Amino acid sequence: MDRSGAWCAGVIRVCLHGAESTGKSVLAARLHARFGWPVVPEFGREYCETHGTDLTLADLLAIAEGQDAAARAVVAQGEPGVLLLDTDPLMTAAWAQMLFGEVPPELLAYPKADLYLLFAPDVPWVADGTRFFGTAAARAQFAALAEEMLVRSGMPFERIAGDWAAREAQAVAAIERELARS
């Protein structure tokens, strides 16, 4: 079964998944520069910069919808082959669990990526005005919830950890394996 949904047949969607400030956006930019793969940026960041960080469940549903619409828009521009998602609604589900102790079912119903790269919280946390969970305990809890959403949804994933060079090498190897399977 095509986990990614019929709207993006022929496109390998790679989702960078994990707690905040683990290098997802940094790695997405590096992979784009290196391979030219299009990147769907994190819609939640733009949303919070516009609307503030006092989020409700309704905000998270709007963020998930915006993230999905942004991914669809990139695919509609042409067949990218590999599409890098800085996040997806499944990560928004982890936010819902972390912030509100519940996950609205609609967050789990969105199309899933073909490959999830789960980022470890083993790089320094950087406060940027939109991040919430900077303590070691909060980062560990959020990282566990991010993994829990993948397991709960039955999505296979590959772990990404270490310094920037190691993260990039691990991600490239995982994407190359996914390309070889396609």
CA 82 – CA 12 distance, rounded (Å): 5
Q: Which domain holds residue 174?
A: 10-181
Residue 88 within any structural domain of the chain: yes
**Strands laid side by side in the 157-160 sheet:** 39-40, 82-85, 12-18, 115-119, 157-160
What are the φ/ψ torsions at residue 156 (nearest 5 degrees)? -70, 155
Per-residue confidence (pLDDT) for residue 17, from 0 to 100: 95
Residue 46 within any structural domain of the chain: yes
Residue 5 within any structural domain of the chain: no
Adjacent-strand bridge partners of 17? 118
Query: pTM for the whole thing?
Result: 0.89
What CATH number is attached to the domain comprising 156? 3.40.50.300
Evaluated on CA atoms 150, 116, 131, 54, the torsion sign reads negative
Residue 1 within any structural domain of the chain: no
Domain count, the chain: 1
Residue 3 within any structural domain of the chain: no
Per-residue confidence (pLDDT) for residue 2, from 0 to 100: 36
Residue 125 within any structural domain of the chain: yes
Residue 51 within any structural domain of the chain: yes
How does pLDDT run along the chain (182 residues), one tens digit per residue?
233 444 456 789 999 999 888 889 999 999 999 999 999 998 988 898 898 888 999 999 999 999 999 999 998 887 668 999 999 999 999 989 999 999 999 999 999 999 999 999 987 766 666 566 667 888 888 899 999 999 999 999 999 999 999 999 999 999 999 999 88
Per-residue confidence (pLDDT) for residue 125, from 0 to 100: 67
Residue 95 within any structural domain of the chain: yes
